[in-house]
Amino acid sequence: MKVSLPLKEMTVSEKIGIMEEIWSDLSSVHDGYSPPDWHGRILDERSRLAESGEVGFTDWETAKKQIRDRVS
């Protein structure tokens, strides 16, 4: 099924809302999908960086607010 959205007419907030809905649906369905090997390699590298203190984290709600503030 092909879905067409009026992306050029949508606000950033509307686009993020749609992405959140899609992610919510994808994260609730586990059948028939295996992530590619490179995902594991990236996660391993990010874990190493976090453990070494080279990077930090921002909780998702704070990150979304920061993104919205930057693009609004």
pLDDT tens per residue across span 11-26: 999 999 999 999 999 8
One-letter amino acid at 23 equals: W
What is the count of structural domains for the chain? 1
Q: Does residue 44 form part of some domain?
A: yes
Phi-psi bin for 23: left (phi > 0), alpha (psi -120 to 50), beta?
Answer: alpha
User: Has residue 15 been placed in a domain?
Assistant: no
pLDDT in tens, 9-67: 999 999 999 999 999 998 888 777 888 999 999 999 999 999 999 998 899 999 999 99
pLDDT recorded at residue 36: 93
Model pTM score: 0.47
In a domain, 11, yes or no: no
Domain presence at residue 7: no
Q: In which domain, by residue range, is 42 found?
A: 36-72
Portion of the chain with pLDDT greater than 90, in percent: 76
